[in-house]
Amino acid sequence: MKIGEYRKETSDTLAGLFGEEAKPLCDILLCSFLDIDKSELILRENDEIPRDTVLQMDEAINELGFGVPVQYIMGNCWFFGRKISIGRGCFIPRSDTETLAQTAASCLPAGGSFADICAGSGCISAAVAEIRKDATGFALELSYKALKYTEKNLEGFSNVTVKRFDALDEDDYYALLGDNGGKFDVIVCNPPYIRSGDINLLQQQVQYEPLDALDGGEDGLHYYREITKLASIILKENGALLYELGYDQAGDVASILREKGYQTAVIKDLNGIERVILGKKY
């Protein structure tokens, strides 16, 4: 069968599940399995589709039907112009988080240092290290399942160290202080911030992601409270503490930061949503 014919038949099959998203979803999978971009896919419509690709697509469609995120099926996604390796047990990076990475990079002084807490795939550390090649940092993650992706995605960055780290354990903060040889200029964190009672209300695809990367406690603010309380152990007096926010959390997180002596500013993402909060002591 020709690629173009297969593309149409598969898009029609997926339409029953995904409606208008079926065709772009089909193209994403085909481009991934054929290792080509969208323009080449169109140019090769009259080529025979490889049997191996058909088998991969059949398996992918089956997994999609069970609600498995397409990023897990492909084993990667894009973040800040870089392909990020991911898989089950690792939180899937969102484009909204690019605002957090850009803000963190802009807060670093020349030759500065950063700690990326709850690093997950390491996408934030990779983006910051790419923007600020003069900086050094630590990508900090507790989950062993996620850590293998953190390490893989940061292999090419000699200025970032990957370390297993419990964001809620005071001893780990003191150990990190020793590893870094001093305090950090910036702490950046995309913590779990979904309310525990809302987890079961999430889209089916999101529920495939690791619970410990989603669950922020009863009110969604547990990690903000604990990390803010412990941050002074590793953050310089004039350093910057940055968090990603849930869509309705700016006011609550600002209050948590102010209670610990931080002045705050909120940054909106490209969709106009309050996405990042910056805390700083002056």
pLDDT for 204 equals 80
pLDDT over 90 at 17, yes or no = no
Q: What is the DSSP letter of 16?
A: H
Q: What superfamily in CATH does domain 87-280 come from?
A: Vaccinia Virus protein VP39 (3.40.50.150)
pLDDT level of residue 129 (50, 70, 90 thresholds) = very high
- On whether the CB atoms of residues 56 and 26 are closer than 8 A, the answer is no
**At 241, which amino acid appears?**
L
Domain ranges of the chain: 3-66, 87-280
pLDDT over 90 at 205, yes or no = no
**At 43, which amino acid appears?**
L
pLDDT level of residue 40 (50, 70, 90 thresholds) = very high
pLDDT for 207 equals 82
Distance CA 207, CA 67 (A): 9
pLDDT over 90 at 203, yes or no = no
Structure tokens at 41: 């896919």
Residue 239, SS3 per DSSP? strand
pLDDT for 230 equals 98
Q: What is the DSSP letter of 44?
A: T
Query: What is the chain's length?
Result: 282
pLDDT for 206 equals 85
Distance CA 8, CA 6 (A): 5
| CB half-sphere exposure, 275, CA atoms < 13 A | 17
**Which residue carries 């997926």 as its tokens?**
14
pLDDT for 201 equals 83
Rounded to two decimals, the pTM is 0.92
